[in-house]
Structure 1
Amino acid sequence: MKTYLSLSGFDSSQIVSLIVKYGIEGGDKIVLIRPEVEPDTRGELTTRAIQDLSHQIDSSINLEIYRVNHQDFEGMVLSLKDLLEKAEGQVIANLSGGPREIFLAFTIACISKPDKIHKTTNFSDIDRCLNEIHLPNIVASLEEKQIKILKDISEFSPTNITNIAERLSLSESTISRQVARLADNKTLEVLPKGKTKELRITLAGKLLL
């Protein structure tokens, strides 16, 4: 099951591109995030267009409109965080379209719940393409050894477990164990490099340092 969470403005092509890219089937859910007060009818036209499309694909696809108060920024962030926490299946979050006030609140909510999101996208106003982006996990909690390892990788990137162990005077098994945890919280990436693995610090790792 997939749950699409998307800001919704006056352009249905953003959400259509999302559905085309990742596919949709019976039992999936589309949640369109909109302000409580509609400024005009164009937003409703977008909603109807997505509803008609989803019903043509499969009548069991569930379309929901999630309303937020654009005048209450803190309330929006907490409400959208709650929406993410309750979302089921693979969550695909689209950070484009809709009012800018809601965009910022939704982005913060997504960054606060990286474990809930399978894919994150945005729709470019420049080239009119849907792009997959990787939000940094800036809520990870790091241990002292992990911080030392991240600092070492940041300074000597790209590097490998053997070289880190030599520089930090720690066993390779210790480094390997900590690297696996750092990779799990997406603060570094592990890339195959011949018979070894190459380690690079991610944006999340840089921000946490």
Structure 2
Amino acid sequence: MRTYLSPIGFNSTSVTRPLLRHGLDMDDRVVVVRPTEGTDEARSKEAIADVRRLLGEIEPKISLSVERVPHDEFEEAVLYCRDIIHAAEGELVVNLSGGARDVFLPFATAVLSESDRVSRTLCFSDIDGRVRELSLPNLSVELSESVAKTLAAIEQLGGKTSIPELTETGEQAKSTVTRHVTELESHGAVVSEKQGKIKYVSMTLTGELLLGRR
């Protein structure tokens, strides 16, 4: 079972295209998020009706629900969106496309803060109409000084870096560097691959952002 969670505005395509790209099963749920009030309720309802009609054509048993987010206060809207994420059942697929800005920004903030609950993040492009899958950065990590030192060494060496290179650059024991790399991988700050007996490490967006905070 999956829950698809997406803001919705006047353009139903930003919701339906990612659904079609990722695929739907009869026990999936689709939850669309919109403001409690809007400037054009008729167009909003029409967009939701378009999504409902598409789901009915694909699999009539798929559940579609609408969450109305209070948008006057940013903090309240973020927490409301967080609660929607917490209530999602099964695999959570988030669509970061469309919707009113008053809801989209709190929604995106909540998604980033709860990225560990999100299985996949999709995005529909207004420019070329493509659906892309995004890798969300993990922004909730706090690194110790020693682990941060290893991460900085990876950035300094650039590209793919081997454990022996890191050991030499960071002037730390191989076992310490290996332990640090394992921790950084668990946070999504680096990715690694083995070539023969040598392990190579590369920094991710999460790693870049974590270093930038220090």
TM-score normalised by structure 2 residue count: 0.91
Q: For residue 52 of structure 2, what is the amino acid of its counterpart?
A: Q
- By how many angstroms is 1:134 displaced? 1.7
3-state DSSP of counterpart to 1:152: helix
Question: Secondary structure of 1:204's partner?
Answer: helix
Task: Tell me how far 1:95 sits from its aligned partner.
Answer: 1.1
Q: CA deviation at 1:156?
A: 0.6
Aligned equivalents of 1:12 and 1:45: distance in 2?
8
Quote the offset at 1:29 in angstroms.
Answer: 0.8
How does 1:1-209 map onto structure 2 within 5 Å?
Answer: 1-40=1-40, 41-157=42-158, 158-193=160-195, 195-209=197-211
**Shift of residue 43 of structure 1?**
0.9
Q: CA deviation at 1:54?
A: 1.4
1:14/1:130 contact within 8 Å kept: no
Percent of residue pairs identical? 35
Name the CA distance, whole Å, in 2 between partners of 1:76 and 1:17: 26
1:33 is aligned with what amino acid? Answer: V
- Letter paired with 1:39: T
Counterpart of 1:89, as a letter, is G
SS in 2 for 1:66: strand
Q: Secondary structure at the match of 2:146?
A: helix
Cα distance in 2 between the residues matched to 1:150 and 1:2: 35
Task: State the alpha-carbon separation in 1 of the partners of residues 143 and 20 from structure 2.
Answer: 38
Give the alignment's TM-score, normalised by structure 1: 0.93
Deviation (angstroms), 1:55: 2.3
Give the Cα–Cα distance (whole angstroms) in 2 for the partners of residues 162 and 85 of structure 1: 42
- 1:93 shift after superposition: 1.0
Instruction: Return the offset for 1:118.
Output: 1.1
Aligned 8 A contact 2:34 2:67 in 1: yes
Unaligned runs of 5+ in 1: none
Displacement of 1:135 in angstroms is 1.8
Which moved further from structure 2: 103-112 or 164-173?
A: 164-173
Distance in 1 between residues matched to 2:194 and 2:43, nearest whole Å: 49
Report the aligned-residue RMSD. Answer: 1.6
Per-residue deviation, 1:42: 1.0
Q: What do the CA deviations read for 1:136-183 (whole angstroms, capped 9, x no partner)? A: 111112123211111110111221112112222333333223212211
